Chains A and B, each alone.
Chain A
């Protein structure tokens, strides 16, 4: 039998929401996986041509080189404010911000809280790797107690630097938010779950259900000083111990226990 006569079904193809360029993140970095999951969902929902993403300041600033749709690069911590301006002007486009833990839980704490509280109909992907990656591994608000970083040489001391911030738990208390969940990219099961949550969050936006944030625990082997395999173990054993996975809030407007609110849904 000639090989040309064999009928082959296409089982996988390159996603069109990623540009045909190599992703230059470090070996074992979670950003590569998370970019691909987001791109796959955008392809599957067929919304690439009406999606606008916002890149943060941090390693993922280069997201605009990788995502194959319109992209904005915003100032450090300000993507939720920029997203607010964009979504209000273009309510039928899909607007998401992609932010690290320095961006979202330190310098941009004000912007994320108020965007959630206004119930802006946007989606936030919050990549938590417990450190500042781009600048070389300094302490983030999400750094674990005792974790060694370039600004906590003997390990993070709670007495002088405070506790790690649990952003998902905090934002779930805000009435304006609709979907708040934490997931991870450490195992096949969790990849599947992460993809499901990304899809759910984007669908909420398409259905005008308001603010959603998916926090994703992500390894940073380079700045943690570990092999990629060891980093996965550390994420599972140390990070997940402090940052429990789960859906903290799934309460879009109109559902039970939710007061109708204003903001972008008017």
Chain B
């Protein structure tokens, strides 16, 4: 298949349309503006709806309404805007509605800056809004994955009736590189019998997240927790590089993994026993795989573009079986492969 050359944000938007996204609502914020711009041009001619919402809050609630009617729906934003959407994401999770939410992260806290950052890891994988819920979180690290994982995101959202977040960053959204735009293959998914479409020929459907009856909410929560367990059992995704004989394993995701894998290759070239582990699903997290590597005695160093967030999940997975170090830079500062090479060469 012929390769395509596109900007990350545009590749993501095109993949969403090809995966059957029929509704997009968003609000301008850098560095993800190419997504709403692309959607505004390309979605309506292909039978979808584009709305520039009056706020991030309105955008996620428009997605809530469209999804409740059974449509594949998406919104996108960047860190401060994603904070505003958290109430809506909690309602999506509580009402068990599918939706795809894209966060092209920028530096924070506050207005921060527009450089690449991974400082929203906690917010993405721990819930983010109120209540006991999780999003399914996918972390692409190149444009091939921006394309492939976007298509996967819509399937997983429908399969689990749960919000799915694509956690990218400023660099992934803005960079161009070639990738293979594989066509979307329709998956066998259950019919949306719960959708609000008008009650002709059936009993009325109610989509809600309020459960005030005795024990009702606890029961609902166990339904959600069971769903998260199923995600952990069958949908953990990750990629490894040279971990088999490694004494030191670098763990990183997204754009940090682009930097880290290069540093690891440089170290391998001078004979160091170092490898790389890259979680692709940040929730469900590859805890068992990391634990198994720790049991073998490998030492870990977690590399992130933040002050240390995923490192906590790696420590939980390792559970004291080996050492877990951290190297990162917060505030939108980007690590170079050489800088990381210097940090790692004496650890192995």
Q: Which 5 A-B pairs have the closest CB atoms?
A: A85-B65, A82-B65, A85-B66, A73-B208, A81-B61
> For the complex, is A44 an interface residue (Cβ under 8 Å from B)?
no
Whether the pair A48, B62 counts as a contact (CB closer than 8 A) is: no
> Out of A68, A90, A113, which one reaches B204, CB within 8 Å?
A68
CA A173 – CA B210 in complex, angstroms? 35
Interface string of A75-108 (1 = CB under 8 A from B): 1001001111110111001000000000000000
Indicate whether A64 reaches chain B with its CB closer than 8 angstroms. Answer: yes
- Number of chain B residues close to chain A: CB under 8 A: 40
Question: Contact: A89 with B71, CB < 8 Å?
Answer: yes
A230 within 8 A of B: no
A238 within 8 A of B: no
Interface with B: A49-57, A154-162, A186-194, A250-258, which one? A49-57
Residue of B nearest to A19 (CB): B204
Alpha-carbon distance between A52 and B53 when the two chains are bound, in angstroms: 22
- Is the beta-carbon distance between A93 and B62 smaller than 8 angstroms? no
**Given the complex, which residues of A lie within 8 Å of B208, measured CB to CB?**
55, 64, 71-73
B139-170 CB mask vs A (1 if < 8 Å, else 0) is: 00000000000000000000000000000000
Contact in complex: A81, B62 (CB < 8 Å): yes
Of the candidates B53, B65, B73, the one whose C-beta lies within 8 Å of that of A74 is: B65
A73 touches B207 (CB 8 A): yes
Supply 15 A–B pairs (Cβ within 8 Å), ascending by A: A49-B200, A69-B198, A70-B197, A72-B68, A73-B95, A81-B59, A84-B65, A85-B64, A85-B68, A89-B70, A89-B71, A90-B69, A90-B198, A110-B55, A111-B61
Q: Is the CB of B209 within 8 A of A73?
A: yes
Task: Kindly state the separation between the CA atoms of A49 and B58 in the bound complex, as whole angstroms.
Answer: 27
Given contacts A86-B196, A93-B198, contact A75 B87 (CB under 8 A): yes
1/0 contact string of B4-39 vs chain A (CB within 8 Å): 000000000000000000110100000000000000
The verdict on A61 contacting chain B, using a C-beta distance below 8 Å, is yes
CB nearest neighbor in B for A92: B198
Q: Does A114 contact B (CB under 8 A)?
A: yes
B58: nearest chain-A partner, CB-CB: A81
| Given A49-B201, A89-B69, 5 other A-B residues pairs in contact with their CB atoms under 8 A | A70-B199, A84-B58, A88-B51, A110-B54, A114-B54
Binding site for B on A (CB under 8 A): 48-52, 54-55, 61, 64, 67-75, 78, 81-86, 88-90, 93, 110-111, 113-114
Evaluate contact between A78 and B58: CB separation under 8 angstroms: yes
How far does the Cβ of A231 sit from chain B's closest Cβ, in whole Å?
A: 26
With contacts A81-B61, A110-B55 known, is A89 near B23, CB below 8 A?
Answer: yes
Q: For A110, what are the chain B residues with a Cβ–Cβ distance below 8 Å?
A: 54-55, 57-58
In whole Å, how far is B242's beta carbon from the nearest beta carbon of chain A? 47
Q: Which residues of B contact A61 (CB under 8 A)?
A: 210
Looking at the assembled complex, report how far the CB atom of B291 sits from the nearest CB atom of chain A, in whole angstroms.
38
Residues B181-223 near A (CB distance < 8 A): 196-201, 204-210
The reply on B254 being an interface residue by CB < 8 A is no
Question: Is the CB–CB distance between B199 and A89 below 8 Å?
Answer: no
Q: Which chain B residue shows the least CB distance to A70?
A: B196
Bound-state Cα–Cα, A92 to B259, Å: 51
Which residue among A49, A68, A70, A110 has the maximum number of chain B CB atoms within 10 Å of its CB? A70
Using Cβ atoms and an 8 Å threshold, which residues of chain A touch B207?
Answer: 71-73
B26 shortest CB reach to chain A, Å: 12
A85 contacts B197, C-beta separation under 8 Å: no
B22 interface neighbour in A54, A55, A89, Cβ under 8 Å: A89
Q: Would you call B73 and A85 a contact (CB within 8 A)?
A: yes
* CB <8 Å contact, A111 and B54: yes
In the complex, whether B283 has a CB less than 8 A from a CB of chain A is no
With both chains docked as a complex, state the minimum distance between the C-beta of B92 and any C-beta of chain A, in angstroms.
10
A72 close to B196 (CB less than 8 A)? yes
Distance from A6 Cβ to chain B, minimum over Cβ atoms (Å) = 36
Give which listed residue, A49, A51, A72, A114, contacts B65 with CB less than 8 A: A72
> Closest approach, in angstroms, between the C-beta of A69 and any C-beta of chain B?
5
Given the complex, which residues of B lie within 8 Å of A49, measured CB to CB?
Answer: 198-201
In the complex, residue of chain A having the shortest beta-carbon distance to the beta carbon of B196: A70
How far, in whole Å, are A48 and B199 apart by their CA atoms in the complex? Answer: 8
User: Residue of A at shortest CB range from B207?
Assistant: A72
- List residues of B (51-100) whose CB comes within 8 Å of A's CBs: 51, 53-55, 57-59, 61-71, 73, 87-88, 91, 95
- Nearest Cβ in chain B — how far from A127, in angstroms? 18
